[in-house]
Chain A
Amino acid sequence: MSRAFDLERRGSYAAAAEAYRSVLATKPGDASALLGLERVLLPINRSAEILPEVRAALAANRSSGALYGVALRAWAAVEEPDSMRAVAERWAQATPGDEAPYREWGAAALSRRDRAGALAAYRMGRERLGRPHALAAEMAQVALTDGDYTTALREWIPAIEKLPGYRVTAVATLSQAPEAVRPRLLQLLAREDKFAARQLESELRVRWGDPLGGLRALQSSLPADRGSAVEALRGILDQLRTSRTQEALLAQGRVLEALAGRGSEAQASRLRLEAAQAYSAAGDRDSARRMLTGLADDRTASATVASGAGTTLVTVLVGDGKLEEANRRLEDLRPSISPEEYGSLRRSIVLGWVQAGELGRADSMLGADSTIEGLALVGKIRLYRGDVPGAIESFKAAGPYAGERAEATQRTTLLALLQPIEADSLPALGAALLQVEKGDTAEAATSLEQVASQLPASKGGAELRLLAGRLAAASGKSGDAERLFRAATAKEAPATAPAAELALAELLLGQGRAGEAIARLEHLILSYPESALVPQARRTLDRARGGVPQT
């Protein structure tokens, strides 16, 4: 056997086959040798040659499931369904009450893409075993290959009840169900009162973008038993951690809080900290503060937990606009956190000062931060002061990788906005863009239009009107948006006009004015054929004409 293993390991499959055969010649019922022979014949495409050894093995050893499994696969390889059935039935007689013969028979049929054969095997298994839910997981998998999600769900529930480990596979496969089928699946789950069904429902809801609904489903029937409850909460937490939406973060916070209530004191501190971080990221600062209460100053908490609580508290304080207190907390924490973390929190406080309009304090606190994130902040400070060339220089220096992707995109957009502008200093523009940063879009649109009126269309006027139009549209002022978009379609600004035409067309489409939108889109495509927006314009045109479904 050792020689055979060695030959197999070296990839000498033909020689290994001979070695396994020599073992089987003396010990025909040796399951290891037969399995080895099966393995090495497969890569050299000679699987069918195993049949004589299979027959001899079954004659010598009638009780080994492994031998029957090889026999089933061998008969499947030569496409002999009757022989497969005969082997499975012999196996079933040898091990009454065992699902394995039917499971392996079905698997062998599926390996030959014989779906009907596999189903027949599983159904016979159910009938002979007298257990209506036997082989449920296998039946579910077959139903899934047909795209029959309702049958798959019905099978998965008893399968999970019997073996909870199936839940992961069930969730992974059922979560692929098309959107139109999902309500039906949820209805079916709602009819089931078993906890396995609730757990499945909760995890599927999370996968389908309803994390809070998923949590509600689970909490409605969480077992009183602490161990089972913790396991169920951990299950949904694993699903929630794959998403960073606000709802998912909020649900994460609630699950972690629930886990903290069920954990030991040491665990509870860490879980409360994680809950606080999740709440903070979700924007629920009250819940975050509730979790942090006492944790940051708790002398009994571990150093890691205490510093984690401290940094989370700084983030919460920044969100609350309590920048002085945040700064004090941060300086207290400085010895216990890494320089990178300190720098990142410090910049979050700087951004807080920027958003508060305290550009001087922001500038002095930022100091000589030469990281790319620091340069991006310098760009913002310069921009809001109206220093256009300075802002361009800093944004370019920060490059495309500073901060989150959304921040990088915002910088690119700002660069495109600023580059046509020739003026060195435009404090009014800075003030208007600061209003955008603060979220005051309605006022910002008015201010931007005023600045635009002082600039030629080709020197930033059109770009500023386009931005003002987008802000007006976002504020629900469609009349102003339309006027601004039309003004931005000036042919003197060929880099801006296509974007303005597309924005105008989208606005008109949203108002049900498809005819006018179509005319605009046609004008865009024909007038600016080289524009990168043409493919998008064509797609919008298809939508306006009813050529593709509304999405």
Chain B
Amino acid sequence: MKRREFVARTCAGLATLSPLSRLTLASAAAPWLLVPMDDAQADHLKAYGLTFRLLERGGRAEWFLNYRNGSFLLPADAATARDAALAGVTTEPLEDGRLVQIRGQLQEGNMDAVPLEKAPKVAVYAPPNAAPWDDAVTMALNYAGIRFDKIWDEEVVGETLKTYDWLHLHHEDFTGQFSKFFLNYAGAPWLVDMVERNREVARSLGFPSVPAEKKAVASAIAAYVERGGFLFAMCTATETLDLALAADGVDIAASYADGSPMDPDASSRMRWERALAFHKAQLELSPTMPVYSDIDGHRVNSPDRRQPLGSFTLFNFSAKIDPVAAMLVQNHRQVIPDFYGLTTSFTRDTLKPSVTILAEEPGTPWVKYLHGERGQGTWTFFGGHDPEDPQHQIGDSATDLSLHPHSPGYRLILNNVLFPAAKKKELKT
């Protein structure tokens, strides 16, 4: 299935919504609900959950790209109205006449309507004992009320991953070096548990070490994208996934992880053609330095090289020509405060030319938010750990998203969850 172009047909929206849903309209006078996503919205994050659940119920929606900061058009059926009221999502009743006017506006400007048809089946890659509050995507999904399954190495290497449309990776270290936490957290119970768990899984899957097993997991994830899966990664998962993919036949793990020291010529032996986003990166050879390579521009755990946080700016894409990128950057803010993660940003010099930059920090050598394609599928990388906890430290209290219902950073995450629901069209070429 091709995923490279999305239908956005003006005036087709009336037909895209199911006739069945129109029979159950709450109000004959206003058959539609517009979910504004500008500053009129009371809860931007839950608006995504409202739309997602409508799709799960078999309903259809439309995403009005760049119209009131990416609003949604939903049928005004009783279930949707009830769900919106419970979630506290602002909706505006819309009559057919007004809808036609809006569609006219969409035609004229850099806007478009993308039909949303089917709720994607969502998987989050996380160890079984992962705290639900240590992953921004899990928090966003929980808060918005979007159902997901947790999967781990056994499911990825096995057959289960194939059954999902969308996969999220967070701060996993695919180089198998346990996030290089050995330096600062040696002996901490959670680190001991993490190491033991990973070693046990590697043994059970027949791999000699955790780095070897994680390379196999990374390859399985790349193959999933190749076959048409949607991949969204944040924090360390972005950088280390590519490092693990490119390190085919190269030892990039410190001896504490696999019993042998890192290959001193690793940087020159990497097979970057296997990586999704990066190339020509220089790997960090020191096992005691909590940095993997020069892909990350901020180096949060490297006291001498750590860079201060600024803010990043979203690019503006053509909704009609480049709807995928446009969907991924729908937001009510264009400039967003930056936030640290083990991998915070991506240096421009290490990006492959084919990568689409979705957000950057102007005037700096790094960017924040990336998108690209691999085979039939797509991947999106977002640097940083938690958009509402910029300095995130291990042990910090959990972020309560009910205190950040308008978070522009979390909106970017949820754009990614919803965009696989868009209706696809085969390439004419």
Contact = CB atoms under 8 A, between A and B. Distances in A.
> Is the A/B pair a real complex?
yes
A534 B82 CA distance: 14
Interface stretch (A222-230, A336-344, A382-390, A539-547): A539-547
A123 to B, nearest CB: 9
Interface stretch (A175-183, A193-201, A243-251): A175-183
B101 interface: no
Interface string A514-548: 00000000100110010000110011011001111
Given A115-B308, A542-B402, A547-B143, A181 B395 contact: yes
A120 B133 CA distance: 36
A526 B398 CA distance: 30
A549 interface: yes
Contact of A526 (B82, B132, B308, B401): B82
A364 interface: no
B402 A180 contact: no
A146 interface: yes
A181 B393 contact: yes
Contacts of A549: 133, 397-400
A220 interface: no
A178 B397 contact: yes
Interface in A166-185: 178-181
A299 interface: no
Contact of A178 (B87, B145, B395, B400): B395
A481 B308 CA distance: 54
Among A179, A529, A542, residue most surrounded by chain B Cβ atoms (within 10 Å): A542
Interface residues on A, range: 20 to 34
A538 B82 CA distance: 13
B304 interface: yes
Contact of A147 (B87, B133, B393): B393
B86 A526 contact: yes
B397 A548 contact: no
B288 to A, nearest CB: 16
Contact of B88 (A120, A178, A538): A538
Nearest to A522: B86
A459 to B, nearest CB: 30
Interface string A86-123: 00000000000000000000000000010110011000
A146 B399 CA distance: 19
Contacts of B396: 178, 180
B142 A179 contact: no
A217 to B, nearest CB: 23
B38 to A, nearest CB: 21
A179 B397 CA distance: 7
A548 B85 contact: no
B269 interface: no
A551 B400 contact: yes
A272 B304 CA distance: 54
Interface residues on B, range: 20 to 34
A84 to B, nearest CB: 17
Given A178-B397, A181-B395, A526-B82, A115 B133 contact: no
B306 interface: yes
Interface in B365-399: 391, 393, 395-399
A120 B396 CA distance: 29
A538 B393 CA distance: 29
Contact of B306 (A116, A529, A538, A541): A116
A42 to B, nearest CB: 22
Given A180-B395, A180-B396, A116 B86 contact: no
Interface in B260-318: 303-306, 308
Contacts of A147: 391, 393
Among B87, B306, B393, B397, residue most surrounded by chain A Cβ atoms (within 10 Å): B393
Interface string A114-153: 0110011000000000000000000000000011000000
A146 B392 CA distance: 11
Question: Which applies to chain A's interface (DSSP): helix, strand, loop or mixed?
Answer: helix
B142 A115 contact: no
B85 A525 contact: yes
Nearest to A143: B303
Nearest to B82: A526
A185 B396 CA distance: 14
B85 A529 contact: yes
A113 B395 contact: no
Contact of B86 (A113, A119, A541): A541
Interface string A222-266: 000000000000000000000000000000000000000000000
A525 B86 contact: yes
Contacts of A529: 85
Contact of A548 (B87, B143, B304, B393): B143
Contacts of B402: 538-539, 542, 547-548
A331 to B, nearest CB: 54
A147 B306 CA distance: 12
Given A181-B393, A539-B402, A545-B145, A119 B304 contact: yes
Interface string B8-34: 000000000000000000000000000
A535 B397 contact: no
Contacts of B87: 538
Contact of A116 (B142, B143, B304, B399): B304
Nearest to A179: B397
A545 B145 CA distance: 9
Contacts of A116: 303-306
A526 B133 CA distance: 29
Among B143, B303, B398, residue most surrounded by chain A Cβ atoms (within 10 Å): B303
A119 B88 CA distance: 49
Contacts of B401: 547-548
A117 to B, nearest CB: 10
Interface string B167-189: 00000000000000000000000
Interface in B87-135: 87-88, 132-133
Contacts of A538: 86-88, 402
A547 B49 CA distance: 11
Contacts of B400: 548-549, 551
A181 B393 CA distance: 9
Contacts of A146: 303, 306
7 contacts: A115-B308, A119-B303, A178-B395, A178-B397, A180-B393, A538-B402, A549-B133
Given A119-B303, A179-B397, A181-B395, 4 more contacts: A526-B82, A542-B402, A545-B145, A551-B400
The 9 A-B pairs with the shortest beta carbon distances in the complex, nearest first, are A180-B395, A549-B398, A147-B391, A547-B143, A548-B402, A538-B88, A547-B142, A548-B400, A116-B304
